[in-house]
Amino acid sequence: MTAQQSRGRRGDDVSGSLASSLRDFLRTESGSAGLLLIAAVLGLAWANSPWSSSYEALWHRTLSIVVDGTGPSMDLHHWVNDGLMAVFFFVIGLEVRREFAVGELTDRRRIVVPLVAGIGGMVVPAALYLAVARTGEVAHGWGIVIGTDTAFLLGILALVGPAVSTQLRVFLLTLTVIDDIAAVSVIGIAYTEHVSIGPMLVAALALAGIAVLARSKVRLAGPYATLAVVAWLATLDSGLHASIAGMLAGLLVPATEPTRAHLDAAAAQLRAFAQSPLPTLQRTTRRQLSRVISVNERLQAALHVPTSFLVVPVFAFANAGVDLRGGVLRDALTSAVTWGVVAGLVLGKLVGVSAGAWLSERLGWGRLPQGVGTGHVVGGAALSGIGFTVSLLIADLAFHDEALQRDAIVGVLLSLVLASGIGWLVFGFAARVLGQRDAALPTVLAEPVDPVRDHVLGDPAAPLTLVEYLDFECPFSARARVTVREVRERFGPRLRYVTRHLPLARHPHAELAAVAAEAAGRQGRNWEMHDELFAHQDHLEFEDLSAYAAALGLDMEQFLDDLQDPALAAHVRADMTSAEDSGARSTPTFFVGGARVEGRYDVKTLIAALERSDRPAVASR
């Protein structure tokens, strides 16, 4: 259920490096699903073995961390559920903040479909649970069916889903962000019985301190982590579940894209270290490099692996161990709680998510990610019935009766199997009958290069083509100038270099700057204006653009008229549309021979891609 990854006006709007970080995160989550399943099976096996009493005894052992007579003291089961799971939700909060600040959810239009689908995926399951288990204490377990376990979902998706499911994963990740926020809210509101005001005020002050650090642009991770621990301890003492402190603390840690100033400072420091590799310079260089990446992403990088491969599996091991002997399984299979959980997770998620996505598209509120079809959505909706981690946590909070807890856990485990099986069937049907095999972005340049329309640097008839979608306000596009220059020097007259515009939503001046480049192009100074715009990325107001045009000696009356010409604005929007149709979501995005370069875009990678594209031509000659 851990949330992650990466993007822009029409997708992620930061950089190729953030795009690759999302892919790395998804691989980590998928890989951890196997370990999670093993941990759950081991816990279940131990609880049903002749040594089951030792399993129970293990989790009832008390662990105290006391300094000067004060400190938390809990049994191991509570340390896992109230301690380790706070870290789990802290990572979720970090990811949610990153997605809203610099990731997929910066384009608010992309939120609508998964938002409505997520709401449907909570309301319908809760309603179905209450329809089956509607009276007495059993009704208190309705919150068990609202969550989705992202780690398990992505792991099973890798096994039964489309061969390439990048876009579907992003959609499901956005969906589970909504589930995560709702689950923590439900824990705080519906499953908290007593609250102590004093500790709660301390927690609020600690969280306010994190907000102050963020506003003050503090880039050291230590102060944020320290205040998060204080908030956790105070929340624990207040009676609220500690997961609330984890989620809120994560949401407050700032996520920002790297600035050009930080990139330049890091590059200069790295050059200094290369010239004098001294220990003092090494420490300074490491600190300078850390400043380039936001605190949010550094904390995510530090915590994702231990969370995925330690925290969540330990939680599964501690909570999935239900002793099913002595008629317990038989009783569970006749329990309203068990079948309420199964109905909510398996049927409710399938219907709620699918109907929500269909309705929001039908009413024109939003649209699915490019490459995601109806069959993919229904298959993903089925897999979202894998509630596991959060479902087990809420089951522990919802019921004080151990028998009801056991029934709920059996329902969660049954739902895991059934949801996975239904998802496998739906994806198979979508591939064979609907032809929806892949759920990925296009990888081919949708609009071929047109030397009349496009700006071409080099011989328009050159055999090799390098196309770049760029953003004049993006620091990564600016630094890619050095890369492009070295690649052009390597291939000389055999290479033509083409630029197109992809102004991103987070960059408010980028679209006007793109129009300014086109206006300069009408006077034959497109490339000179490129250089001016990239050299002054932080100053792209209307007055600044006029000053750059004057410095280039342009006819100012014509330039100002062209700057407001609807035809040039339409040209920029046409580039943005071609970027969308070609699968470009971040800047810079490069195409070699019409094929999108995925991942890194350094000199070595681009040269290798161009040489590969040249081999068929060489063989033909």
Fold of the domain spanning 16-258+293-432: Na+/H+ antiporter like fold (1.20.1530)
Residue 117's nearest CA partner among 375, 354, 373, 427 is 354
Domain spans of the chain, in order of start: 16-258+293-432, 259-292, 455-620
H or E stretch including 567? Answer: helix 566-582
pLDDT at residue number 111: 84
Q: Cα dist. 3→92, 96, 416, 512 in Å?
A: 5, 7, 19, 35
Domains 16-258+293-432 and 455-620 share a fold: no
Domain range 455-620, CATH class: alpha beta
**Which pLDDT belongs to residue 325?**
84
- Calpha distance 2→150 (Å, rounded): 6
Intervals of the chain under pLDDT 70: 1-32, 69, 104-105, 107-108, 615-621
State the DSSP string of 196-210: -HHHHHHHHHHHHHH
**429-461 pLDDT tens trace:** 999 999 888 888 888 999 999 999 999 999 999
Q: What is the pLDDT of residue 104?
A: 65
Closest CA to 303 of 150, 100, 87: 87
**What contacts 412, CB < 8 A, 6 or more positions away?**
144, 341, 345, 387, 388, 391, 392, 395
pLDDT score for 11: 38
pLDDT in the model for residue 274 = 82
Alpha helices in 216-259 (DSSP H): 221-238, 242-252
For 524: left if phi > 0, alpha if psi spans -120 to 50, otherwise beta; the answer is: left
Q: Using an 8 Å Cβ cutoff, are 340 and 133 in contact? A: yes
Q: Rounded to whole angstroms, how far apart are CA atoms 267 and 397?
A: 51
Quote the pLDDT of residue 20: 47
- Residues contacting 509, CB < 8 A, separation 6+: 472, 473, 540, 541
Is there a contact between 373 and 168 (Cβ–Cβ < 8 Å)?
Answer: no
448 C-beta neighbours (distance < 10 Å), count: 11
**pTM score above 0.95:** no
pLDDT of residue 532: 95
